[in-house]
């Protein structure tokens, strides 16, 4: 695959440490339910997982937001639970309830997991990337992604989303060696998966650690930082030129350790992190991405304008990628997204 020269992409320039005016922008979950054209495609398949596994449709929804908005990157339409599915765990998406998995919480459950047919499960994602890459303007990079080992492990142990990841944290305290085996398996499988996405045409990668915030510092070092570092090392060993964004959501003060110790190229910031702190403690280390409140994009109005201006003022004079601090909400009005793009692209009201 021909690589995009980073000089032609503000997104890749920012990831390489350059300051852009205006900064590049993309939005987490930019392909999603707030778009009527997404809802139309979604209605053609019976399950969310089927949409992820049908390259023709997944490619279409990946491209939809790029047709509407002047976004600087696409992100492949998929889900972080593709990895447990690829390891043989039963994964379902129950409409209105979120994902349901058959929980793994002992050595027997671990023994049933296998990388044996992972490549087959990942193949549709790779094909989606190839299809998107063929249609995207060559200056627009496509982001590949996976969930961080800790976050994916919480879903595997809890059997779904959970309020405070208590089962996973408790198992990690009680049977550290077994939990480490699960994490190791996820590191290796996720490295293969990210490298497969790069081979298919992904020009940048993001690692989503959505539940990093539930870990106290010792466990954050053990289950968030260390596995992410090993994952990044394995990816960099074979794809040294592909930038990796880490997103340790909710990590607060600990984000600085994460930035220093994982080997990532850029860090995603969530809405709880103050922008001056991001500038002084993170942007001095590496490019930063974030962190508009997705609910403010739902609400819109003068408050949105003011906050976008504040973020641009605080972070725009260093390497920066404008994004939300969490995924876009299904109820977001399209005109508010248009307004956001206008504000960021023109730097003014």
Cβ nearer to its own copies, comparing 172 with 205: 172
Instruction: Among 169, 230, 249, 279, indicate the residue that binds its own copies (CB under 8 A).
Output: 169
Dist CA 223 CA 215 (whole Å) = 8
- Antiparallel, parallel or unpaired: β 320-324 and 142-147: unpaired
> Binding of its own copies at residue 94 (CB under 8 A)?
no
Instruction: Among 111, 237, 285, 299, indicate the residue that binds its own copies (CB under 8 A).
Output: 299
Cβ-contact 133, 143 below 8 angstroms: no
Comparing CA positions, the residue from 329, 336, 323 lying closest to residue 24 is: 323
> Binding of its own copies at residue 271 (CB under 8 A)?
yes
Contact region for its own copies (CB under 8 A) — 17-25, 66-74, 208-216, 224-232?
Answer: 208-216
**Tokens in use for 343?**
């504000």
108 belongs to the catalytic site: no
Q: Phi first, then psi: what are they for 91, rounded to 5°?
A: -130, 130
Tokens 């205006």 belong to residue: 22
281 belongs to the catalytic site: no
Q: Which residue out of 38, 85, 126, 155 is catalytically annotated? A: 155
Q: How far is the CB of 252 from its own copies (least distance, A)?
A: 3
Cβ nearer to its own copies, comparing 111 with 173: 173
Judged by CB under 8 A, how many residues of this single chain contact its own copies? 36
Please report which helix (H) or strand (E) contains residue 268, including its range.
Answer: strand 266-268
Cβ nearer to its own copies, comparing 156 with 269: 269
Angle between helices 176-200 and 149-158 (to 10 degrees): 120
- Antiparallel, parallel or unpaired: β 91-94 and 74-75: unpaired
Residues belonging to the active site: 29, 33, 42, 79, 155
Binding site for its own copies (CB under 8 A): 163, 166, 169-170, 173-174, 213-219, 250-254, 271-275, 277, 291, 293, 295-296, 298-299, 301, 303, 307, 310, 325, 329
């Amino acid at each position: 695959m021909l690589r995009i020269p980073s000089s032609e992409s503000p997104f890749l320039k920012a990831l390489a440490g350059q300051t852009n005016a205006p900064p590049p922008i993309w939005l987490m979950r930019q392909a999603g339910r707030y778009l009527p054209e997404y809802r139309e495609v979604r209605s053609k398949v019976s399950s969310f997982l089927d949409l992820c596994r049908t390259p023709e449709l997944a490619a279409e929804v990946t491209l939809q937001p790029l047709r509407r908005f002047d976004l600087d990157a696409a992100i492949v339409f998929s889900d972080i639970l593709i990895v447990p599915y690829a390891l043989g765990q039963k994964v379902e998406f129950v409409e209105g309830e979120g994902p349901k998995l058959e929980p793994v919480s002992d050595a027997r459950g671990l023994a049933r997991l296998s990388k044996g047919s992972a490549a087959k499960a990942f193949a549709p994602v790779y094909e989606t990337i190839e299809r998107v890459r063929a249609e995207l303007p060559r200056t627009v990079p496509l982001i590949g992604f996976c969930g961080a080992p800790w976050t994916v492990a919480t879903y595997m142990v809890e059997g779904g989303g959970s309020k405070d990841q208590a089962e996973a944290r408790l198992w990690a305290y009680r049977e550290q060696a077994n939990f480490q085996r699960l994490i190791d398996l996820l590191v290796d499988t996720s490295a293969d998966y990210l490298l497969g996405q790069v081979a298919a045409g992904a020009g940048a990668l993001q690692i989503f650690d959505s539940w990093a915030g539930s870990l106290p510092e010792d466990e954050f070092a053990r289950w968030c930082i260390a596995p992410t570092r090993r994952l990044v090392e394995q990816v960099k060993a074979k794809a040294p030129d592909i930038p990796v964004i880490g997103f340790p959501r909710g990590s607060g003060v600990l984000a600085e350790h994460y930035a220093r110790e994982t080997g990532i190229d850029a860090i995603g910031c969530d809405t709880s992190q103050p922008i001056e702190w991001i500038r002084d403690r993170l942007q001095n280390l590496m490019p930063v991405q974030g962190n508009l409140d997705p609910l403010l994009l739902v609400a819109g109005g003068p408050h949105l304008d003011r906050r976008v201006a504040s973020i641009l003022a605080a972070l725009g004079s260093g390497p920066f990628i404008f994004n939300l601090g969490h995924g876009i909400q299904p109820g977001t009005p399209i005109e508010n997204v248009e307004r956001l793009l206008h504000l960021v692209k023109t730097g003014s009201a």
